[in-house]
Amino acid sequence: MRGRRQRRAAAPLALVGVAVAVGALLLAGCGGASPASPPARSWSQVLSEARGQTVEWWMYGGDAATDEFVDDYVKPAAAKLGVTVDRVPVSDTVEAVDRVVAERKAGKSSGGAVDLIWINGENFVEGKEAGLWLKDWARSLPNSRYVDWTEPVINRDFQVPVAGQESPWQGAAFVFGYNSTAVSSPPTSFPELLAWAKAHPGRFTYPAPPDFTGAAFVRQVIQRLGGVRQGLRYLEALKPYQWEGGSQFPTSIDELDQLFANEQVDFDMSYNANFLELSVRKGEFPSTVRPFLIGGGALQNTSYVTIPANAAHAAGAEVVANLLLDPRLQTAMADPGVLGTPSVLDPSRLPPAAAAALRKRSAGSPFLPASLGEPLGELPAGRDVPIEEAWTRAVLR
């Protein structure tokens, strides 16, 4: 995935839409209810109940590579267990949340149209607060034993505890790219980036928030430099040395990609660690592009799946969520030729052969960083909009 949404990603964080939808639910007097838990049963009982079910998986539909992964790997694996996976593409995750909210307001406590949602961030947090999600299921999945639930990037979704209400399935890491024929040694810290920009005016830029990638870049600066005030001062200082003298910003990651491809700027960026590989394969970038990190480690988050409390096919949804943690599917997902996204599995918890396969598949690509460094976690959900507004006042003006 290109990191233009959650982000991953992983679907977009449509904050206003979610707030309106969940706010309406709360005003209706139905919000904040305790979400249901699945009935106590063995995994063999879950498999038996799931057989013959069609799982309606609502997921962002603008990522062809992810769609292909689901069609080529997830659907066949589910079919072997008697479960059909139906991808329901949406342009924004809030469409799925809206549907669950509408059913809750209508009193539909079972038989819901949404069985599984690709989700994270504000969409999950607002739904959790309104009691929309099934609880106490994620850590009961057999393959969850391969997940290190003590890792903050796993057990907290934008600093909010997942509390067994969502299961991880792919990681996202913010990676920068450069063309090695034009840049011999890219900056590795934000002070170095400012010095580089002063020495090479007009050769760096980033998308203007609220573009997802641009907003993530701003959040990294703020965290690495110690706070909003320090970060915005830095971005103000950087602005005159940017592309077009800072008088213009790319309005989207697509526009930045094009500037980079046309050699109008020397750096690109994405919340998809594999974006360089994907672009080289499509002929958009030359094979001389290489990845790098700024600040000692990549900004990271996790994409999850959640099950609405009123899902019609909760057992089937649990089976799909468990398959997404299958070491074989995670290994395929880590392959740069498939998705190239960081695995959510802990290799130390895998059988030796599976751990070796995962490490081998995800290693050795010149388009992926050899290491993601010390992870930088996302800021708490809800802080991104105020930061974007502050950036607009201080930098865009």
Burial of residue 108 (number of CB atoms within 10 Å: 0-12, 13-18, 19+): middle
- Residues β-bridged to residue 172: 301
Query: Residue 259: its pLDDT value, please?
Result: 98
Query: Residue 375: its pLDDT value, please?
Result: 87
Query: Residue 297: its pLDDT value, please?
Result: 95
Query: Residue 360: its pLDDT value, please?
Result: 87
Query: Residue 21: its pLDDT value, please?
Result: 52
Q: What is the pLDDT along the chain (397 residues), one digit of tens a residue?
A: 333 333 334 433 333 344 445 554 543 444 445 557 777 789 999 999 999 999 999 999 988 889 999 999 999 999 999 999 999 999 999 999 999 999 999 999 999 999 999 999 989 999 999 999 999 999 999 999 999 999 999 999 999 999 999 999 999 999 999 999 999 999 999 999 999 999 999 999 999 999 999 999 999 999 999 999 999 999 999 999 999 999 999 999 999 999 999 999 999 999 999 999 999 999 999 999 999 999 999 999 999 999 999 999 999 999 999 999 999 999 999 999 899 999 999 999 999 999 999 988 867 789 999 899 988 999 988 898 999 999 999 999 8
Query: Residue 5: its pLDDT value, please?
Result: 37
Domains of the chain: 15-170+303-363 (3.40.190.10), 175-297+379-396 (3.40.190.10)
